Structure 1
Amino acid sequence: MAAAYTKKTGVQIILEGGGATRGIRDTVAGKVDIGGTCRMSLPSSNKSELYAILYPVAWDALAIIAHPSNPVNNLTMQQIRAVYTGKITNWKQLGGRNAKIHLYTRRGKISGVGYAIRQYIFKNSNIKFKSSYIVRSSGPLEKACEKDPDALGITGISSARKRKVKVLKFGGRSPTYENIKNGSYGLYRPLYLVTSPHPSRLAKDFIKFASSKEGRQIIRANHTVPYLDAPNLMSKMLIYGFDVK
């Protein structure tokens, strides 16, 4: 999206990582013109997030990932819940080999992935996971699942597609474009652009481009669902306790 916008307008966009929380707070603090995030603002975690203006532009999904050699193909909601609470600790209990599950989780409870898992799986944003493998960001989690034969983790499908990992089905459904779009793959989440209450003209122009017909086509070309192609998914998130205001 950024490259296409630069080609079209000549405006240079410098991209930085750092996670969903940074995407919101750095923008509100005026450190950047525009941010990106995969969770809604949570003023209860930091009052500054109250002033974030979020613009939904696309739909992503959480991907359950493991090492490519792992024979397990599918996990249910109940099985994931049991793994994250320590009730299931061996791959054999999930139909795999006799080996301890190395559950990799994100540090903190309000990362984009961590918050979504807690809401979808437990409907409780404060629950603590039973994991001895805690990482700072999704990158190390994904790398661990590439290298560790006994690894299990959850990350965004957009980044999982770029890794040499096995993406497991959830409830018998794969996180394909169509399954995300129609809501049959249950672990979906919106992707937002973020501005301060008084965005710059350049920020407004980029958001307009991202939401335009041309922008939506770029999103589809990257195997991601434009927000306007499936706006009804947002109402379904209320069932899991997401604050989607």
Structure 2
Amino acid sequence: MMSSHLGAGSEQPPRVEGKVRLYRMKYCPFAQRVSLALTFKKIPHDIVNINLRDKPEWYMQINPEGKVPALVDLNGEIVVDSTAIVNYLEEKYPEPALCKKETIKRDLELLEHYGKILKVFFDCVHRKDTRPLKTAVDEMCTYLVEFEEELKKLNTPFFTGDNPGMVDILMWPFVEKAKCLALIYKEPMDFEKEKFPLILKWVSKMKEQEFVQQNAISYETFAKVAEASNAGNVNYDAI
């Protein structure tokens, strides 16, 4: 695994035989989605970290947009965008399964609705949302109600059933880092826990999963990355 973040002027590391390659920024929650899926499915892979502030020239040939994550499969096929990559892995490496055919339509609907939460979250992370933090958190909670109700209807610990699946994996990196907003804003989040008992149980169950623990990124660390990035002086290898 490549630990330091490669930047302009660096050489592209040679592929490792028999391993899928993931290009990422270590603290990127979208890339973390892919890491979770790869670990869950036990797919042999290596990781190359990319300096998003000073991107390697060669990386633009892999993803011309210069974004992470990007996955290069054993056959050289390149897939970008975290959701697209996880869907690709589910199709190419179907066991263990991340979704059920009978629920895939609802899974996709939930993930589409989750995008509303992500928009508010990242606007707050990058201080583009000028509202008080409580107002933004209250808005996210109005969207989160649907997910609380979904768990109640399913009567299962995870959104995919008795084991984590696609919805759980694609949601998790942002839930794991939610408390970073209190550090970024330097004020309490005032999250009304009593309204979301099943979500909180889900969080506890996710934290118990070995594949989640192996890919954990603390909200404190993520807050440091976000603040440094907002200030324009982030050094990914020094955090």
Q: Say whether the fold is shared (TM-score over 0.5).
A: no
Return the structure number with greater relative CO, CA threshold 8 A, min gap 6: 1
**Between Structure 1 and Structure 2, which shows a larger proportion of helix residues?**
2
For normalisation by structure 2, the TM-score amounts to 0.32
For normalisation by structure 1, the TM-score amounts to 0.31
**Between Structure 1 and Structure 2, which shows a larger proportion of strand residues?**
1
